[in-house]
Structure 1
Amino acid sequence: MVRITVVGVPEDGCLSLTSRAVNAVSKARVVAGHPRHLEWFPQFKGTFLDMTTGFAQWMSQVIDESEEGDVVVLASGDPLFFGIGTTLLKKMPAEELNFIATLSSAQLAFSRLGLPWNEARFLSCHGRSLQGLTSQMQQGDLYAFLTDYKNTPQVLAQHLSAFSETNWTLAVCEQLGGPGESIRRYSVDELAAENSEFDKLNVVVAQRKSKDLWGGNGQFSSDASFFKRLPQKGLITKQSVRNLVLTTLRVQPDSVVWDIGAGSGSVAIESAKLCWKGRVFAVECNEACFESIQENIYAHGTDNVTLIKAKAPEGLDELSRPDAVFVGGSRGQMDDILLTAWQSLNAGGRLVVSAVTIDTVSEVYQWAKQNQIHLDTQVINISQTQPLAHYQRYQAENPIHLFSMIKTA
């Protein structure tokens, strides 16, 4: 039995409303929604539930009234496109809901811009943090963003600009289908500096101009693309080792990753490119490294990385439980770090540790043995070419021990 019919209302009202939508409202016992939508149904004389009085209370009233049936909820465009339909489906069985959709704002935007949208991706900024936005934008060339009063088109553009994500053309589409329809195109920096106020009913379409991903640095970046603390240029897990660390961690798109003893943040940043829907925490206590880490996060556009200024294991308990942990430095706290990381690690997660000194190798081995944890070990010996007069010779780098542990269920 259908208890609630959700009607999508276009911005031009009667011009685009179907007879099915009009009949549903005219026969309703109760209509719920925004007052501006009700203006298109002057024939309705029943009970109206005004959502502007407070969403939680309004939703409770809608659910209560639905017990008697004949309730219509009015929504903008397609109610199943980032709309009220998704919320209702979480509270009621699908068979008790009926949807009468109209064109969504995104459909109208792409049609006005003349852009095929079968491969477009859609992101809502309504009541959400923009953190992780630029990381998700590396997965496509065409996006539509639904903004709100806080995350305005300008705020969206400012976030993209801060994280070196400027290779986009942005179109701000306002009041689509309504009498005040307007479409304006900008570069990222132009929109970030725009002073005019946009209509609250807008959608932003972003079209990529070039394939310069991750701030132009790409994935599996070279060491030269990372800012490093000077004069100690060695505070980075070198590219050859870093790439092996990444494959050992087996980071997935939605993983949570900890990089403990982050140094320049290279492992955290490259992990973030793999878990573009997830989160990465770069944990570092050396104040001299903070600026480099933050600069690298901005330069590579990895806004899903958070710098944690703490000496591990302090602060780790406050982080989201990880699926992968890399320990690149311990500051003498190796046992405590390993214990905290292992206890926090999700089932099936991986703990990977790099060691340069014999002392660290012994610490990790003894800890795993005492805790009866299976340990896989690799010794990495890498040599790089160096010029010698008119010839090329090999220069060996320090051997690296790489330990890997898997937490079984």
Structure 2
Amino acid sequence: MVSITVVGVPEDGCLSLSSRAVSAVSSARIVAGHPRHLTWFPQYKGEFINMAQGFSRWLNFVIEESEEGGVVVLASGDPLFYGIGNSLVKKIGIEQVRFIPSVSSPQLAFSRLGLPWNDARFYSCHARILNGLSCQLQQGDLFALLTDHVHTPQVIAQHLTAFNETHWKLVVCENLGSNDENITSFSVEELANSSIEFSSLNILVAQRGSNLRWGGQGQFSNDESYEKRMPKNGLITKQAVRNLVVTSLSIQPEATVWDIGSGSGSVAIEAGKLAWKGQVFAVECNEPCFHVIKSNKQVHATDNVALICEKAPQCLKSLPNPDAIFVGGTRGEMDSILSCAWHRLNPNGRLVVSAVTIDTVTEVYLWAKENDLTLSVQIINISQTQPLAHYQRYQAENPIHLFSVTKTLQENL
């Protein structure tokens, strides 16, 4: 038996409410929600549970009252679009809830702008940090961004500016469906510098203005797109090896990744492009590298990469458990770093280690043997063309040992 009916209320209230929605409220034992929604139902004289008392407390009251049935929850637009619907279903089960939705704010926004939205993507900035937004934007051409009182349209535009995402056309849609509806278009720069106080009921539509992704650098970028610490070649895992490392890590979109000994940040950044819904931690204790990593992640628009300016393994305890780990530098702490990394690695996660010197190869091999692990090992030999008078010759680079292993569920127990 249904104990809670969730009614989606449009901003113009009575003009767009269905008879089914009006009937549900009229016959309710208890109505719960925001007072501004209740104003559209003057005929209701029963008990009202006001959401202004605080969401957690309000939700507990609603769940308690649902045991007797006859509860109607009022919500904006479509309750299953970043709304209360999901929380209620998780609490009491889909069998106990029915929905009477109205048009969602993105649907109204796209209709006002005349934009087909079958391929649109959606991102809510409610109660979350903006790091990761730029990565999400690489995955589509049309977005509806849900703002809040902290992440205003201006703050979002400023974030896009910081990560080289200035080609977007932005449209702020305020009070959609109401009498004071307002729609205004901006460039990213215009909105970032705007002093307009928008209504709290706004949604930001973003349309792509360029086909170039990741700050124009693309995926699997070449070495020239990265700033490097001197000397000339810098602390960077070269492109051919970097691409092999990233694919060996088997990174999924929602993965958490550690890059230990990040150097220029190139592996972390390319990992961030694959883990576009996840997060990447570039661990580096060498101070001259800090500016280089920060600069590279901005140039490549990878705002899901966080720089950890501390030495491993000490700093690793504060990081979330990873799904993939790359170890490119250890500062003499190979055994302790590998042991900590392996302990924290999630089941089915991948650990990849690169080694240039014979000493490092020996350290990794002995660690694996002591822990009864069988490593997959590749020796990578790369030669690049170099001019020789009027000819081209090959110049061999240092061979790289690449160790990789997957953590099975049994090894996690």
TM-score category by the smaller chain? over 0.9
Instruction: Name the counterpart of 1:215.
Output: 215
- 1:298 and 2:298 are equivalent in the alignment: yes
Instruction: Name the counterpart of 2:186.
Output: 186
Instruction: Name the counterpart of 1:45.
Output: 45
Q: 1:166–1:188: 8 Å Cα contact kept in structure 2?
A: yes
Counterpart amino acid of 2:407? K
Q: CA deviation at 1:348?
A: 1.3
Q: CA deviation at 1:234?
A: 2.8
Instruction: Name the counterpart of 1:332.
Output: 332
* Partner SS state of residue 139, structure 1: coil
Q: CA deviation at 1:354?
A: 0.8
* Partner SS state of residue 109, structure 1: helix
* Partner SS state of residue 330, structure 2: coil
* Partner SS state of residue 68, structure 1: coil
Instruction: Name the counterpart of 1:271.
Output: 271
Report the number of matched residues. Answer: 409
Instruction: Name the counterpart of 1:384.
Output: 384
Q: Distance in 2 between matches of 1:126 and 1:351?
A: 34
Instruction: Name the counterpart of 2:196.
Output: 196
Q: 1:6–1:97: 8 Å Cα contact kept in structure 2?
A: yes
* Partner SS state of residue 315, structure 1: helix
* Partner SS state of residue 48, structure 1: strand
Q: CA deviation at 1:64?
A: 1.4
Instruction: Name the counterpart of 1:345.
Output: 345
Task: Note the aligned Cα RMSD (angstroms).
Answer: 0.9
Q: Distance in 2 between matches of 1:408 and 1:166?
A: 43
Instruction: Name the counterpart of 2:135.
Output: 135
* Partner SS state of residue 307, structure 2: strand
Q: Deviations over 1:43-102 (max 9, x none)?
A: 111011111121111111111111221111111111111111111111112121111111
Q: 1:124–1:146: 8 Å Cα contact kept in structure 2?
A: yes
Counterparts of 1:5-404 in structure 2, within 5 Å, are: 5-404=5-404
TM-score (structure 2 length as normaliser): 0.98
Counterpart amino acid of 1:16? S
Q: Distance in 2 between matches of 1:93 and 1:398?
A: 59
Q: 1:167–1:212: 8 Å Cα contact kept in structure 2?
A: no
Q: Distance in 1 between matches of 2:4 and 2:229?
A: 61
Q: Deviations over 1:351-403 (max 9, x none)?
A: 11111111111111111112111011111111111111111111111111111
Q: CA deviation at 1:249?
A: 1.0
Identity %: 67
Q: Deviations over 1:99-146 (max 9, x none)?
A: 111101010000000000011111111111111111111111111011
Q: CA deviation at 1:227?
A: 0.8
Counterpart amino acid of 2:69? G
Structure 1, unmatched stretches of 5+, are: none
Q: Distance in 1 between matches of 2:97 and 2:353?
A: 52
TM-score (structure 1 length as normaliser): 0.98
Q: Distance in 2 between matches of 1:26 and 1:166?
A: 49
Q: Deviations over 1:289-317 (max 9, x none)?
A: 00000111111111111101111111111
Q: CA deviation at 1:233?
A: 2.7
